[in-house]
Amino acid sequence: MRKSMYSLMLMDSVVKKIDELAQEKNTNRSNLINQILAEYVSLVTPEKQISEIFSYLDQLFCSKVFSTVQEQCETMMSVKTSLDYKYRPTVKYSIELIKNPKDKFGYLKVIFRTQSKELLDNLQCFFNNFAKLESAYLKSRYNMDIEYSLSGGKFIRSMSMPYGFVVTYDELAKGISNYVAMLDELIKNYLSQKFTSFSQIEKRYLQYINSSSTVII
């Protein structure tokens, strides 16, 4: 949705309350006024759409082995969990959504809090092979490409839906949470050596894409 600049005459006391509320909601004055007016005229803004998706995601993640991390950004939410590894390092999954999406609706960032070279090398191996595996299956099924980035302790993946596929906010949230849960399961099973070969990871990934009603591309 396009935005333009407008001049408004407002009471100082109203602006003061707006600024206080905006600070509480981690947004700014213009965005908050825009949201309030949009709700008054029954118009759904991109910010409201993202808020609805995050609300569903928060409920879904609470039912899994994740704890929610508060972010100072209205387009991002994060959850974290710990690995059954030396010193129990944490892994954070950040979901960043785009306000006016086109081919991609957001990005998933997987961030590892560790200085262990051994762990980072193992994760490098896992994500390199996982990206090749996932790209091969999704490319053949949906003819769509995925953006990947891997450096140090951070893995970034683009998120989109199959062409022409329309979902509700709760269906999209379910698709995202199921994907994160599946990826977290694979990482933990790989690092704990419960999965000793990538054929086991491939089998589990196939179960995911064959059973999911909302597949994240």
The predicted model scores a pTM of 0.80
Amino acid residing at 6: Y
Say which residue the tokens 């509480």 belong to.
24
Q: Does the structure show a pLDDT above 70 at 112?
A: yes
Instruction: Give the pLDDT score at 32.
Output: 80
What whole-number percentage of the chain has pLDDT above 90? 35
Confidence of residue 76 (pLDDT cuts 50, 70, 90): very high
Per-residue pLDDT at 33 exceeds 90: no
pLDDT, tens digit (0-9, with 9 covering 90-100), for 151-170: 878 999 999 988 777 788 88
Q: Is the pLDDT of residue 42 over 70?
A: no
Between CA 157 and CA 108 the distance in angstroms is 5
Cβ burial of 2 (10 Å; 0-12, 13-18, 19+) is exposed
Per-residue DSSP letters for the chain? -----------HHHHHHHHHHHHHTT--HHHHHHHHHHHHTT---HHHHHHHHHHHHHHHHHTTT-EEE--S-TTEEEEEEE-SSTT--EEEEEEEE-SS-SS--EEEEEEEE---HHHHHHHHHHHHHHHHHHHHHHHHHH-----EEEETTEEEEEE---TT----HHHHHHHHHHHHHHHHHHHHHHHTTSS-SHHHHHHHHHHHHHH-SS---
What is the pLDDT confidence band of residue 115, given thresholds at 50, 70 and 90? confident
| Section 54-76 average pLDDT | 81
Cα distances (angstroms) measured from residue 159 to each of 102, 105, 125, 144: 11, 6, 22, 11
Q: How far apart are CA 103 and CA 30, in angstroms?
A: 27
Q: What is the CATH number of domain 46-211?
A: 3.30.1460
Confidence of residue 1 (pLDDT cuts 50, 70, 90): low
pLDDT tens digit sequence for 173-195: 999 999 999 999 999 999 988 99
